[in-house]
Amino acid sequence: MRAESLAFLKAIVNAPSPSGYEQRAAEVYRAYTREFADRVYTDVMGNTIAVLNETGTPRVMFAGHMDEIGFIVKHISDEGFLYFGPIGGHDPIIAVGQRVLVHTKHGSIPGVIGRKPVHLLDDEDRKKVPQLHELWIDIGAKDKADAASVVRIGDPVTIAVEFQELRNGFATARGFDNKMGAFVVAEALRLLAEDRPKAAVFAVATVQEEIGLRGARTSAYGIDASIGIAVDVTHASDYPTVDKRRVGDIRPGKGPVICRGANINPRVFELLVETAEAEGIPYQLEAVGGGTGTDANAMQLNKAGMATGLISVPLRYMHTPCEVLALEDVENAARLLAAFTKRLNSDMDFTP
Ligand SMILES: [Zn+2]
């Protein structure tokens, strides 16, 4: 990967951006896309939109959500411990023992999610998975007043781990889901800026996907594109305990995943496959029988409908702080999205 691109990927992945609190990722996205987009703007929801060739046809929307899962401070106890709820879908077993950052107006404050030591757990406790509301964050506060002097109810929290490269082109981070997708739509726009398409292209880093595809809904309405591609992660099935019978045979390093099913316009699907084959980009297929849990779902149902596609990157350990992917798939997803968009013209009919 190009050094500047890798630096952007690291910066956006490391930027804390739980749903509803995406401003730091948006800043990173704006700074990067400003270099090559014709225009970059942020709407009232917080979606950040980089535009190329605004008067072109057809109008195409890319969506990569830049929010990540996190926690939100709900209560400060008399002893100064912070109780919290989820932002997005969590496996509570992951939270125990983590270092966290509480993002306050005084900056990001370190803390830990503590638990009673194993010695003090009775047999029943050892078997039980704690619920999130039973856990607490310890920032080292003296008491409630001390904690409340820096932390406010509603401050968001992220787990304090950052991007790390692994062997063989693999990398780990929290929040690859889906700041990787925001990265891909920006990279595709950069490639298209070098080799300009006929289409008008709106590369959106959407907000609030993890809590109900909320940013994609309003940005799709605002942009009013006829064609839309969402970029997200999908479950890899090449590690222990994941059942290929349920998710298919999806492997990191074997290329981006092109989705097929009711949420996907069949002509968009075929054009994505044709493009991958013509460009020599490796790809995999996945099938989803209904609406996907991605921005593609909200996009397809925009106004009178949008011809929608979904490109995914295989991810191990989704919604944990140690998500793993292959960087090559991320690059290839951007290449596929750009090459697909180059092929679009206003004579194409996407009626199934
Ligand atoms: Zn997710």
**Is pLDDT at 125 greater than 90 in this prediction?**
no
CATH number, residue 11 = 3.40.630.10
Cα(169) to centroid of ligand 1, in Å? Answer: 22
Clarify whether residues 93 and 51 are in a common domain: no
Among 50, 46, 22, smallest CA distance to 36 is for 50
CA angle 192/205/105 to nearest 5° reads 140
Clarify whether residues 143 and 125 are in a common domain: yes
Which of the residues are catalytic? 209
Cα(318) to centroid of ligand 1, in Å? Answer: 7
pLDDT bracket for residue 126 (50, 70, 90): confident
CA 334 to CA 228: how far, in whole Å? Answer: 14
Omega before 256 within 30 of 0, i.e. cis: no
pLDDT at 108: 97
Clarify whether residues 186 and 243 are in a common domain: yes
Mean pLDDT, all residues of the chain: 97
CATH number, residue 109 = 2.40.30.40
What is the domain range of residue 104? 70-159
Domain count, the chain: 2
Q: Name the least confident of 5-9, 48-52, 121-125, 235-239.
A: 121-125
Cα(142) to centroid of ligand 1, in Å? Answer: 36
Clarify whether residues 292 and 319 are in a common domain: yes
pLDDT tens-digit readout, 92-120? 999 999 999 999 999 999 999 998 888 98
Cα(68) to centroid of ligand 1, in Å? Answer: 7
Cα(19) to centroid of ligand 1, in Å? Answer: 10
